[in-house]
Structure 1
Amino acid sequence: MAGNTDPLSPRAKLAVTAGRAAAAASRAVGRGSGSVIGGKVALRLDPDLLARLATHLDVVLVSATNGKTTTTRLIAEALRASGPVVSNALGANMPAGITSALAGGSDAKYGVIEVDEKYLSTVARDVTPKAIALLNLSRDQLDRAAETRMLAEKWREGLAGSKALVVANADDPLIVWAASSSANVVWVAAGQEWKDDAWSCPSCGGVMQRPGDDWFCGECGFRRPTPSWALSGDHVLDPHGSAWPIKLQLPGRANKANATTSAAVAAAFGVPPQIALERMYSVQAVAGRYDVVSFMQRELRLLLAKNPAGWLETFSLIDPPPTPVILSVNARGADGTDTSWLWDVDYTRLAGHPIFVIGDRKLDLAVRLEVAGLDFQVCEDVDEAVRQAPPGRIEVIANYTAFQDLRRRVGN
């Protein structure tokens, strides 16, 4: 049982202590949470520390291009019905950040860990997960992330031979192909609104056929598996055919899909769907996402959208016109410096909204909106955009570092 034995060697304990000191120093000088630098210091002192920290935990890994931070949070809440959980809830999802998170969970029973797509196989090898949740694969950070099929192939190779239960989205062909090498898969019908990253068969390269909600390759026979869990409107359908109501404070269809996958994971650890879904209601915001904040006597709702799939889902969340919308796009290292993905987003969905454009790459976004035939105003910063916006709550949509900039400015 967790807490009864101490798996850490003196060297590992020293590494944890040094990592915590480095993290505290980073926080003290205002450089963020310190989780990444703390983990880097700890791993430098003990390269096997991540594996050691996970030995007493039942670990769940969550990976995807979109939705992994929220799904990690929902799974963690569900599993708390069965015991203490340690999780990297703030989204530091590479080995250093994961190590920092687990170092704070000596009494935990479960480790629920969000993992960057590129590191999934590496982290899985280190922590021997009991379950792995795979949500979607989509283009993201085009200048430094592998092409989606290459990433799916790495996952496929990494999952082969794994004893983990893989809970995977049956509606994403890339996820299905990646997960199919695993011996133990639970398929979830979670939906996939953005389909442009899986128009060709990942198995043979043939053109994918998509009648209705189904999909298959007409050339090699690769096809959508039969799901045992499904999102149906506002309910989760379990493998027995029972329908469980989803009541979330988080908005949108995408979060209902995340809750469906989370319920399937929780069930694998003995937490019934009703209890799991009831616990998920407590999640109001995830690392600032979906928060409504007061700023300059206005209400701003903060929404994160990093890539075309995420922007498409976010557009479905916002209040109808004439609600004003502020769009902010950066292209720093954490975002990817290539903004060509802007041309894949259907910004015509914002027709009728007063639009205000800010961020490091506001002119790139302005050109895209001009071509889309939309009316918009380029502003110097969020303060100017809020001053110019007509009355009512303002929807603010930003990519990763732009979102962090906004949170710092509006006090979230």
Structure 2
Amino acid sequence: MAGNSDPLTPRAKLAVTAGKAVAAASRAAGRGSGSVIGGRVALKLDPDLLARLAQNLDCVLVSATNGKTTTTRLIAEALRAAGPVVSNALGANMPAGITSALAGGSEAKFGVIEVDEKYLAGVARDTEPKCIALLNLSRDQLDRAAETRMLAENWREGLAGVKAVIVANADDPLVVWAASSSPNVIWVAAGQMWKDDAWSCPSCGGVMQRPGDDWFCGECGFRRPTPSWALSGDHVLDPHGSAWPIHLQLPGRANKANAASSAAVAAVFGVPPQVALERMYQVQAVAGRYDVVQFEGRDLRLLLAKNPAGWLETFSLIDPPPTPVILSVNARSADGTDTSWLWDVDYTRLTGHPICVIGDRKLDLAVRLEVANQQFQVCENLDQAVQLCPPGRIEVIANYTAFQDLRRRVGN
């Protein structure tokens, strides 16, 4: 276990020290947490550093298009019942950020690691995890991300020889296909609200049949596996048929689904569902998401929605009309520069809400809202949008870099 023996060579120790120094310098210069640049420097000095840091940890990897940062937080909280945890809780989820996070956890027993979908196979090779959680796959960053089936194929190939227990969402056909190459899979019925990326069979290309909550391919017989864990209303059903209440401070059905997957992961590490779910109540906000902040005399709830699947989930948890909604969309490198995904979002769900539109690509969004027959105003910035809203609650929904801009402006 961690702390008993020192896996780090002198070179690895030098790499860790150098990485921390660079990260500290980056923070001092006001350039963010410094975890990515620190990790890059450390990996340059010792390319095997991630594997060395993970050597004495029981690791769980969490990957998905939506919900991985939140689920990582929930799992980390649950596993603290069994020992100290190190985690990349702020979402730096590529090898450099992961290395940087693990370098700060010398006494940890568990590593709970969020992993970008494209890096999952490589990080799994380096960290030899005990468990991997796969939540969903949907379109994101259209200009550069591989089409979803290709990502599923990468997962399928990359995970084929992995010893880890895979905890996978039985309701997402792409995830099921990706996980099916693994010998040890625990299926969770976590639901799938956004289905537009899974109408054709990932195995043969046939048309997927979707009677009720079930799904199957009428051509090759690929079908939904029988789950052993399930989300049922406000409860998680475990493999023995016991129902455990979910108490979360995080809103919405998507987070209950995240909690169900997290409970299944915690059980792999010996933490019982009741203990795991009780501990998840501690999580109030995740890297600013769901935070309510006071700004210009209003209460702004900050909500992150990066892609059509995320927007659909977010619309389901906002307060009813006439609560004002501010929408902010950028298309910078970290978001993906292609905004055509806006046309896949059903903005008619905002009917009755006064809407203000901000962000680098506010005009793209304005055209989309016009076609969806919504009433809206285009504003120069957050301050102007807030001034147009009455006192009280405002729902603010933003994609990735727009969300970071908002947090900086409101001092969150």
**What is the TM-score when the length of structure 1 is the normalising length?**
1.00
Q: Identify the residue that residue 117 of structure 2 maps to in structure 1.
A: 117
Residue 4 (structure 1) shift: 1.4
Structure 2 CA distance, aligned partners of 1:339 and 1:228? 38
Q: Identify the residue that residue 40 of structure 2 maps to in structure 1.
A: 40
Structure 1 CA distance, aligned partners of 2:363 and 2:14? 49
Q: Identify the residue that residue 411 of structure 1 maps to in structure 2.
A: 411
1:133 aligns with 2:162: no
Q: Report the secondary structure of 2:82's partner residue.
A: coil
Structure 1 CA distance, aligned partners of 2:69 and 2:129? 18
- Supply the AA of the counterpart residue of 1:242: S
Structure 1 CA distance, aligned partners of 2:10 and 2:391? 60
Structure 2 CA distance, aligned partners of 1:91 and 1:216? 34
Q: Identify the residue that residue 338 of structure 1 maps to in structure 2.
A: 338
State the Cα deviation string for residues 86-131 of structure 1 (Å, max 9, x = none): 0000000000000000000110000000000000001001110000
Residue 2 (structure 1) shift: 1.2
4+ long deviations beyond 3 Å: none
Q: How large is the RMSD of aligned CA atoms in angstroms? A: 0.4
Residue 309 (structure 1) shift: 0.2
Q: Report the secondary structure of 1:348's partner residue.
A: helix
Structure 1 CA distance, aligned partners of 2:281 and 2:192? 23
1:278 aligns with 2:278: yes
After superposition, residues 77-226 of structure 1 pair within 5 angstroms as 77-226=77-226
- Supply the AA of the counterpart residue of 1:270: G
Structure 2 CA distance, aligned partners of 1:104 and 1:19? 10
CA contact (8 A) 2:297 2:391 kept: no
Structure 2 CA distance, aligned partners of 1:280 and 1:59? 19
Q: Identify the residue that residue 398 of structure 1 maps to in structure 2.
A: 398
CA contact (8 A) 2:85 2:111 kept: yes
Q: Identify the residue that residue 288 of structure 2 maps to in structure 1.
A: 288
Residue 391 (structure 1) shift: 3.1
- Supply the AA of the counterpart residue of 1:298: R
Structure 1 CA distance, aligned partners of 2:47 and 2:146? 26
CA contact (8 A) 1:78 1:276 kept: yes
State the Cα deviation string for residues 303-340 of structure 1 (Å, max 9, x = none): 00000000000000100000000000000000000000
- Supply the AA of the counterpart residue of 2:206: G
Structure 2 CA distance, aligned partners of 1:2 and 1:90? 23
CA contact (8 A) 1:18 1:41 kept: yes
CA contact (8 A) 1:324 1:392 kept: no
State the Cα deviation string for residues 260-316 of structure 1 (Å, max 9, x = none): 000000001100000000000000000000000000111000000000000000000
State the Cα deviation string for residues 199-256 of structure 1 (Å, max 9, x = none): 0000000000000000000000000000000000000000000000000000000000
- Supply the AA of the counterpart residue of 1:70: T
Structure 1 CA distance, aligned partners of 2:28 and 2:322? 43
- Supply the AA of the counterpart residue of 1:273: P
Q: Report the secondary structure of 2:32's partner residue.
A: coil
Residue 392 (structure 1) shift: 2.3
Structure 2 CA distance, aligned partners of 1:344 and 1:317? 19
Q: Identify the residue that residue 3 of structure 2 maps to in structure 1.
A: 3
CA contact (8 A) 2:160 2:181 kept: yes
- Supply the AA of the counterpart residue of 2:393: R
Structure 2 CA distance, aligned partners of 1:239 and 1:408? 44
- Supply the AA of the counterpart residue of 1:144: R
Q: Identify the residue that residue 356 of structure 1 maps to in structure 2.
A: 356
Structure 2 CA distance, aligned partners of 1:260 and 1:4? 33
Structure 2 CA distance, aligned partners of 1:205 and 1:17? 50
> Structure 2: any 5+ residue segments left out of the alignment?
none
Structure 2 CA distance, aligned partners of 1:206 and 1:270? 40
Structure 2 CA distance, aligned partners of 1:56 and 1:378? 53
Q: Report the secondary structure of 2:111's partner residue.
A: strand
Aligned sequence identity (%): 88
- Supply the AA of the counterpart residue of 1:196: D
Q: Identify the residue that residue 316 of structure 1 maps to in structure 2.
A: 316
Structure 2 CA distance, aligned partners of 1:297 and 1:35? 34
Residue 390 (structure 1) shift: 2.5
State the Cα deviation string for residues 345-377 of structure 1 (Å, max 9, x = none): 000000000000000000000000000000000
- Supply the AA of the counterpart residue of 2:271: V
Q: Identify the residue that residue 372 of structure 2 maps to in structure 1.
A: 372
Structure 2 CA distance, aligned partners of 1:53 and 1:332? 33
Q: Report the secondary structure of 1:393's partner residue.
A: strand
Structure 1 CA distance, aligned partners of 2:346 and 2:218? 29
Q: Report the secondary structure of 2:357's partner residue.
A: strand
Q: Report the secondary structure of 2:320's partner residue.
A: coil
- Supply the AA of the counterpart residue of 1:21: A
Q: Report the secondary structure of 2:186's partner residue.
A: strand
- Supply the AA of the counterpart residue of 1:166: I
